[in-house]
């Protein structure tokens, strides 16, 4: 498929834009409701950084609004993950590392009106994915601090059958696409983990209300969603974690005391995911600040450089 440059998506009649945006918002509202209530199963392809993998998925909405889903990788070594309400309960293989705290198959509380402040929303037309009719939405960022998304939503259920994450040049960073999809309720047996699926216990996270760490600059529209502290599995040091989001995109900032450890600054990108680390000098010793998320590399670097301790000033 050829990707349309973002600039071209914005060209059109100004009089037609409000209606198009309203249609797109209506579809996003349907999507938000469907992801919390719809049962489905199928197979999909996931592509990132030129690497492909194929997966089966079973997704069931249970009583009380509980979501249960099982993912099984179909190529390479056997890997699976069982999640309940987005939390990994058991996993096998490297697939666990990809899905813990990730949004590969998110159940987001989308706010279409809020997203319209940071993305130009429009309906591009219709398509077909996995033999089903879809409507194609474009979510074009209004600035350079987030990626664009092309969504192909099932016309009957409003669930995403295909999503493309694109940079500002319209180049593909990540693809998610169903090859088979149906809305039958998955049988209970298909949601039971296999023998190799081991229980996952994340390091205990304690909610934090302190404002010891602040960012002197954030991309427009991003706000602090949560702050926790966990023990580092490598050093047993307390690591503060702040999660920011704009209602769609998100990134995390980690602050870990170094205690004299020699650690190099980091600047890397794999597909849409970036990681930027820099050493920050404070009155309490050096701290490694790391920004991880699906945001442009330059944006992550600027965030990392902006982090400060609110109560004790960093040393020059």
The verdict on residue 225 lying in a domain is yes
The answer to whether residues 106 and 190 belong to one domain is yes
Q: What is the pLDDT of residue 33?
A: 86
Residue 1 is assigned to a structural domain of this protein: no
- Hey, which residues does 123 pair with through a beta bridge? 137
**Pair (113, 231) in one structural domain:** no
Q: Are residues 72 and 217 in the same domain?
A: no
* DSSP 3-state of 309: strand
- Best CA proximity match to 144, nearest among 118, 171, 173, 165: 118
Domain membership flag for residue 272: yes
User: Do residues 193 and 50 both lie within one domain?
Assistant: yes
CATH number of the domain where residue 136 is located? 2.50.20.10
Same domain (yes/no): 227, 163: no
Burial class, 255, CB count within 10 angstroms (exposed 0-12 / middle 13-18 / buried 19+): buried
Residue 316 lies in a domain: no
Domain C-terminal end among 171, 199, 227: 199
Q: Is there a single domain that holds both residue 75 and residue 188?
A: yes
- 101 SS3 class: coil
Picking from 199, 216, 241, the residue at the C-terminal end of a domain is 199
Mark the ranges of the chain whose per-residue pLDDT is less than 70.
1-20, 94-109, 201-211, 233-235, 311-316
| 121 found inside a domain | yes
For residue 3, the model assigns a pLDDT of 32
DSSP character for 208?
Answer: -
Q: Are residues 211 and 83 in the same domain?
A: no
- Same domain? 250 vs 304: yes
**One domain, residues 188 and 302:** no
Q: 21 lies in which domain range?
A: 6-199
**154 and 277 together in one domain:** no
Same domain, 269 and 152: no
Q: Note the pLDDT of residue 140.
A: 94
Say what the pLDDT of residue 219 is.
96
Distance separating alpha carbons of residues 95 and 72, to the nearest angstrom = 9
Closest CA to 95 of 108, 84, 104: 104
DSSP designation for 13: -
In a domain, 315, yes or no: no
Residue with tokens 């309906």, as numbered in its chain:
123
Total of domains in the chain: 2
pLDDT (0 to 100) of residue 193:
87
Within a domain: 44: yes
pLDDT at residue 195 in the model: 84
Single residue among 199, 229, 261 that ends a domain in this structure: 199
For residues 123 and 267, membership in a common domain is answered with no
User: How many residues in total does the chain contain?
Assistant: 316
Residue 24 lies in a domain: yes
Q: Could you count the other beta carbons within 10 Å of the beta carbon of residue 247?
A: 21
Query: What kind and span of H or E run contains 18?
Result: helix 17-37
- In this structure, are residues 140 and 120 in contact, taking their beta carbons and an 8 Å threshold? yes
- CATH number, domain of 281, equals 3.30.200.100
Condensed to tens digits (0 to 9), the pLDDT of residues 164-206 reads 999 988 899 999 999 999 999 999 999 998 888 888 765 555 5
DSSP state for residue 246 in the 8-state scheme: S
- Nearest alpha-carbon partner for 289 in 190, 222, 213, 223: 213
Token pair 């392809």: residue:
45
Residues 252 and 292: beta-carbon distance below 8 Å: yes
What integer pLDDT is reported at residue 207 of this predicted model?
53
Predicted model pTM: 0.82
- Check residue 62 and give its pLDDT: 86
For residues 81 and 102, what is the distance between their CA atoms, to the nearest angstrom?
12
Buried b (16+ CB within 10 A) or exposed e, 92-110: bbebbebbeeeebbebbeb
């Amino acid at each position: 498929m050829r990707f349309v440059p973002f600039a071209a998506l914005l060209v059109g009649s100004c009089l037609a834009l409000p209606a198009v945006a309203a249609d797109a918002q209506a579809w996003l509202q349907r999507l938000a409701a469907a992801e919390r209530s719809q049962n489905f199963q199928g197979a999909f392809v996931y592509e990132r950084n030129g690497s492909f993998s194929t997966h089966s998925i079973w997704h069931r909405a249970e009583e009380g609004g509980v979501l249960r889903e099982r993912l099984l990788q179909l190529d390479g070594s056997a890997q699976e993950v069982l999640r309940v309400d987005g939390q990994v309960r058991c996993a096998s293989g490297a697939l666990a590392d990809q899905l813990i705290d990730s949004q590969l198959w998110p159940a987001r509380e989308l706010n279409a009106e809020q997203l319209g402040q940071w993305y130009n929303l429009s309906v591009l037309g219709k398509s077909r994915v996995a033999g089903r009719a879809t409507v194609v939405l474009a979510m074009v960022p209004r600035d350079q601090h987030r990626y664009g998304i092309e969504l192909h939503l099932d016309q009957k259920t409003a669930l995403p059958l295909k999503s493309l994450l694109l940079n500002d040049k319209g180049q593909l960073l990540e693809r998610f696409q169903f090859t088979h999809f149906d809305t039958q309720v998955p049988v209970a047996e298909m949601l039971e983990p296999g023998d190799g699926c081991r229980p996952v216990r994340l390091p205990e996270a304690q909610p934090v209300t302190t404002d010891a760490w602040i960012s002197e600059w954030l991309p427009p529209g991003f706000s602090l969603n949560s702050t926790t502290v966990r023990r580092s599995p490598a050093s047993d040091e307390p690591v503060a974690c702040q999660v920011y989001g704009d209602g769609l995109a998100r990134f995390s900032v980690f602050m870990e005391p170094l205690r004299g450890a020699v650690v190099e600054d980091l600047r890397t990108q794999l597909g849409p995911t970036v990681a930027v680390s820099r050493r920050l000098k404070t009155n309490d010793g050096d701290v490694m600040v790391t920004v991880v998320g699906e945001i442009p590399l330059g944006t992550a670097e600027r965030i990392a450089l902006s982090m400060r301790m609110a109560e004790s000033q960093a040393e020059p």
